[in-house]
Structure 1
Amino acid sequence: MNDLLVRLELFMSNPVTVLLLTLGAYLTGERLFIRSGRKGWFHPVIVGSLLVFLVIHFSSMSIETYTEHSSILKTLLAPFTVALAIPLSQQLHHVRRHAGPILSTLLLGAVLVVLLGLGFAWVSGAGE
Structure 2
Amino acid sequence: MTVLLHTPLFWTALTIGCFLLGQHVYRLTGNLVLLPPILTGFGLVITTLKLTDTPYAVYMEGGRYLHDMLGPVIVMLAVPLFQQLKALRQDAIRIALAVTLGSATTLACAWGLTIWWIGDPMLAQTILTKSITTPVAVAITSQLGGDPSLAAAFVILTGLLGVILILPILTLLRIRQPEAIGITLGVCAHAIGTSRALELGEREAAYAVTAMTLTATLHAIVLPLLAGLL
Amino acid at match of 2:189: G
Aligned to 2:3: 10
Which residue in the other structure is 2:52 paired with?
Answer: 59
Partner in structure 1 of residue 33 of structure 2: 40
Structure 1 80/41 Cα, relative in aligned 2: closer, same or farther at 3 Å?
Answer: same
Residue of structure 2 in register with 1:102 after alignment: 182
Question: Which aligned pairs between 1:72-87 and structure 2 lie closer than 5 A?
Answer: 72-87=65-80
Query: Runs of 5+ in structure 2 lacking a partner?
Result: 92-176, 191-230
What displacement does 1:68 show? 2.6
Aligned-pair RMSD on alpha carbons?
2.1
Cα shift at 1:62: 1.2
Identity over aligned pairs, percent: 24
- Alignment partners' CA distance in 2, 1:31 and 1:86: 25
TM-score (norm 2): 0.40
Q: Structure 1: give runs of 5+ residues left out of the alignment.
A: 1-7, 111-128
Q: How many residues align?
A: 102
Q: Partner of 1:70: helix, strand, or coil?
A: helix
Structure-1 separation of matches of 2:58 and 2:84: 40
Greater RCO (CA < 8 Å, at least 6 residues apart): 1
Amino acid at match of 1:66: Y
Deviations 1:48-90 (A, max 9, x none): 0111011111113211111232111111221121011122221
